[in-house]
Amino acid sequence: MDTENLAANDDELNTNQGLESHNEQDEKDFINSLDDDFDPIAADTQVQQQEIETQAAGAMVFVGLMTIEQTMKTMVHPRFEFDPKQAESVAEKIAPLIVKYGGNPPPWLAKYMDEIMAVAAIGMLSLSSYMQVRTLKAEDIELAKKAKQKAANDDQQQEAA
């Protein structure tokens, strides 16, 4: 009876071992197949370099945003400003893309760069033209006020005389 139980246990044991079986040679082969050139110092240096590149890209984006902000102040309204937290968040989100693509557009977008630059140029020309017209109208209104005020002063002087 004991022998029958042992045989049953051996069958169960063999079934469980069938899921995964390996020997020492398999383990040695696996370990030898791993990258022998792994250098933890080089890996740390690479991670640090990537962090530095990402920070530099983020700073570059932030400077670009500040340039846009100054342009908006000049062209749209003198008190215009980006929310600093949002600007920083945008810089953090865009920085990895700059690092990833090396400052170039992604390949799927690169073929449309001429069109994008044309639209940007037309947009800038339109915006600057709009701002010029707005400034000229404001100057006209100011000149009209001054002319009206001068005419009123001249009328007062003639009545006084």
pLDDT digits over 109-159, tens only? 889 989 999 998 998 898 888 888 988 999 999 999 999 998 888 888 887
Q: Is the separation of the CB atoms in 86 and 48 below 8 Å?
A: no
User: Tell me, what's the pLDDT at 39?
Assistant: 65
Cα separation of 62 and 84, whole Å?
10
Q: What does the domain layout of the chain look like in residue ranges?
A: 46-104, 105-160
Model's pTM, two decimal places? 0.49
Which pLDDT value is given to residue 11? 54
User: Mind giving me the DSSP string for 111-150?
Assistant: TTHHHHHHHHHHHHHHHHHHHHHHHHHHHHHHHHHHHHHH
Q: Which is higher by pLDDT, 61 or 14?
A: 61
